């Protein structure tokens, strides 16, 4: 009986460790993150585009760049809440980010989950690739596909009405499981990719022209 009890106890510890949830933002600081903002690096007098305000992580939009986790991750679910604080605009979450400034001397090598207003849930291929069902219908002619330059890097999401009205909080869930990336927005499945050319990397939030607020940034290991 003692042996069985010990085995069950050990198994519960292993299960807990494997399903551990990590709070990536403590509401007080940017501990665990670092910035890559080319214009700020060139001119330190510019404002810092990522700040803490009223317990929220805020991307001010400009100067443009990325807030990147110090740690690389694989096989996880990332969940967070976001909203545009003022005018609607552009932003994104990058998963499996690696080589910095790999595209246009700005974007790290990664797969972007789009947050742009009215396009949330799109994939953008940034020097990495991912596939979906009905690829040509959602990405365009196959001969124009690519991961850089003027190639077709955007893969449209599955729905057009999953975003909340402006000013309300949206909840996004991104599951990265081996070479698959699945995205839900406010409970709706909005993208489901497979055969990703990368399965591990940093997570990044963008400053891309619009002010966006984030909260409840939680990562759960699979």
Digit-by-digit pLDDT tens for the chain (222 residues) are 555 544 444 444 444 445 699 999 999 999 999 999 999 999 999 999 999 999 999 999 999 999 999 999 999 999 999 999 889 999 999 999 999 999 999 999 999 999 999 999 999 999 999 999 999 999 999 999 999 999 999 999 999 899 999 999 999 999 999 999 999 999 999 999 999 999 999 999 999 999 999 999 999 999
User: Does 19 fall in a domain?
Assistant: no
Q: How many domains does the chain have?
A: 1
Helices and strands in the chain: count of H runs, count of E runs: 3, 15
Residue with tokens 């020097």: 127
Does residue 17 form part of some domain? no
- pTM of full prediction above 0.75: yes
Residue 208 within any structural domain of the chain = yes
In whole angstroms, what is the distance from residue 96 CA to residue 78 CA? 12
Q: What is the CATH number of the domain that holds 51?
A: 2.60.120.560
CA distances 111 to 36, 95, 107, Å, are 17, 5, 10
Question: Could you tell me which of 84, 115, 114, 113 has the C-alpha nearest to residue 96?
Answer: 113
Domain assignment of residue 134, given as a range: 33-221
């Amino acid at each position: 009986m003692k042996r069985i009890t010990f085995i069950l106890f050990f198994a519960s510890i292993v299960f807990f460790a494997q399903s551990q949830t990590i709070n990536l933002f403590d509401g007080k600081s940017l501990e665990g993150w670092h910035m890559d903002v080319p214009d700020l690096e060139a001119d330190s007098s510019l404002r810092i585009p990522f700040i803490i305000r009223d317990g929220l992580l805020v991307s001010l939009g400009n100067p443009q760049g990325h807030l990147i986790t110090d740690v690389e991750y694989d096989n996880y679910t990332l969940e967070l809440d976001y909203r545009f604080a003022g005018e609607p605009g552009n932003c994104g979450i990058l998963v499996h980010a690696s080589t910095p400034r790999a595209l246009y001397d700005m974007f790290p090598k990664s797969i972007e989950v789009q947050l742009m207003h009215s396009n949330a849930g799109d994939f953008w291929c940034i020097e990495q690739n991912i596939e979906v069902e009905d690829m040509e219908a959602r990405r365009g002619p196959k001969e124009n596909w690519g991961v850089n330059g003027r190639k077709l890097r955007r893969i449209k999401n599955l729905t057009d009405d999953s975003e909340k009205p402006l000013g309300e909080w949206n909840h996004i869930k991104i599951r990265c499981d081996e070479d698959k990336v699945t995205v839900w927005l406010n409970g709706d499945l909005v993208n489901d990719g497979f055969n990703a050319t990368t399965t591990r990397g940093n997570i990044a939030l963008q400053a891309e022209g619009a002010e966006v607020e984030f909260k409840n940034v939680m990562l759960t290991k699979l």
